[in-house]
């Protein structure tokens, strides 16, 4: 079966694009059959060297959908979002999107937060949630518990490969071998790993490690049926909305795409320095998460969380623009709604003891 991929890899070597169905078929085959990961690596490298197209990335998303169990929470898809991005930022920041996800959920928007461990960074979102007592299983996950948490709490951290088909395991094993070998560069697979969601939703904010992929990913979300969203890149090297410099944005709504740039000053925030938002240690990342959400931190780390939450509040029609979204996010923290969402989430997983230990460590 793997020999069917050889012509496609040769096609990529000749700088020819794959169709969406070719990319889908190739990724499905390597997931099921490629025990050594050689074809998988060649496929990724071929697309990366040529430059991925929206159709190829869409094909990867279709393959992820083929391998995954679909979830159906009793929530209107128009009220659900996610703020997971590609990772791979040059500036290794603390867990900005993870922190912002609780602020977004505090607004009443449901957040289906895809969470995993670190690939190029210090801690992944799953590490933060697990530390505070909101368990994200990496094997034998319970799909119904994910649905129930989203319905009852308004936010759920989860790792969809944990309840996906067996062929997914081979794909994850290859990724782990890449990490062990030091091959931790971002690939086309990383571009869409979290673009696909097994939970239907209509809006998205998606951070990208390189501005050159903004439009292609906006087109992918349109192909996936999303109605509105932002694909963003902080030009100083982060896959988030940035407070240390301008952010390039592709905003899509229906069939339209608009490209523009914003600065921190335009939305009422002070410009920060890179060292202000860098990760210091895994332990410090958990403390930053709690200090921001419980209102103890009021500096640049809080500011960048406000900005990223504001983007989702804008896309989710809670704010007229990002500047208003920043003010709304600030209020959600100051009024204790974000910290209450943390408490509710941890209570659902019965992890209060772990949370209280971390609150004591952070002096909260």
Residue among 91, 86, 337 nearest 216 (CA): 86
Give the C-alpha separation, 158 to 136, whole Å.
5
Question: Is pTM beyond 0.85 here?
Answer: yes
Q: How many CB atoms lie within 10 A of CB 66?
A: 16
Q: What pLDDT sits at residue 172? A: 65
CATH 3.40.1030.10 in the chain is located at 79-169+179-347
Element (H, E) at 205: strand 203-207
Half-sphere exposure of 143 (CA within 13 A, CB side): 13
Report residues of the chain scoring pLDDT below 70.
Answer: 119-121, 165-179, 181-185
Per-residue tokens: 56: 């190829």
Give the C-alpha separation, 356 to 7, whole Å.
56
What superfamily would CATH give domain 2-67?
A: Transferase, Pyrimidine Nucleoside Phosphorylase; Chain C (1.20.970.10)
What 8-state DSSP symbol labels residue 238?
Answer: B
CATH 1.20.970.10 in the chain is located at 2-67
Q: What pLDDT sits at residue 178? A: 65
Q: What pLDDT sits at residue 30? A: 86
Question: In this structure, are residues 255 and 218 in contact, taking their beta carbons and an 8 Å threshold?
Answer: no
Q: What pLDDT sits at residue 160? A: 87
For 79-169+179-347, CATH number? 3.40.1030.10
Q: What pLDDT sits at residue 244? A: 96
Q: What pLDDT sits at residue 163? A: 80
Query: Whole-angstrom distance between the N-terminal and C-terminal Cα of the chain?
Result: 57
Residue bearing tokens 């959908």: 65
Q: What pLDDT sits at residue 89? A: 73
Strands 247-253 and 256-262: antiparallel
């Amino acid at each position: 079966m793997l020999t069917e991929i050889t012509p496609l890899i040769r096609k990529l070597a000749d700088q020819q694009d794959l169709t969406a169905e070719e990319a889908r078929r190739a990724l499905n085959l390597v997931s099921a059959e490629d025990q050594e990961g050689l074809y998988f690596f060649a496929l990724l490298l071929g697309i990366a060297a040529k430059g991925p197209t929206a159709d190829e990335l869409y094909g990867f998303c279709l393959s992820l959908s083929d391998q995954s169990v679909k979830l159906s929470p009793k929530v209107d898809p128009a009220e659900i979002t996610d703020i997971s991005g590609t990772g791979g930022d040059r500036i290794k920041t603390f867990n900005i999107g993870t922190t912002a996800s609780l602020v977004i959920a505090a607004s009443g928007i449901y957040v289906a937060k895809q969470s995993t461990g670190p690939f190029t960074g210090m801690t992944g979102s799953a590490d933060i949630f697990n530390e505070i007592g909101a368990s994200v299983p990496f094997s034998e996950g319970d799909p119904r518990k994910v649905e129930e948490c989203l319905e009852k709490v308004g936010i759920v951290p989860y790792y969809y490969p944990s309840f996906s088909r067996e062929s997914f395991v081979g794909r994850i094993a290859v990724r782990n071998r890449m990490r062990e070998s030091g091959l931790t560069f971002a690939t086309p697979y990383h571009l869409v790993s979290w673009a696909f969601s097994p939970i239907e939703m209509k809006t998205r904010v998606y951070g990208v490690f390189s501005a050159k992929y903004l439009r292609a990913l906006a087109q992918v979300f349109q192909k996936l049926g999303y109605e509105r969203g932002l694909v963003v890149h902080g030009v100083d090297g982060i896959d988030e909305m940035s407070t240390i410099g301008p952010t390039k944005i592709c905003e899509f709504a229906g069939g339209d795409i608009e490209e523009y740039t914003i600065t921190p000053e335009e939305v009422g925030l002070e410009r920060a320095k890179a060292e202000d938002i860098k990760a210091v240690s895994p332990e410090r990342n958990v403390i930053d998460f709690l200090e921001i959400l419980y209102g103890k931190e009021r500096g640049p780390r809080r500011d960048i969380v406000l900005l990223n939450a504001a983007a989702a509040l804008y896309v989710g029609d809670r704010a007229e623009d990002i500047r208003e979204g920043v003010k709304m996010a600030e209020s959600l923290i100051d009024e204790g709604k974000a910290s209450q969402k943390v408490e509710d989430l941890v209570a659902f997983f019965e992890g209060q003891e772990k949370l209280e230990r971390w609150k004591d460590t952070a002096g909260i």
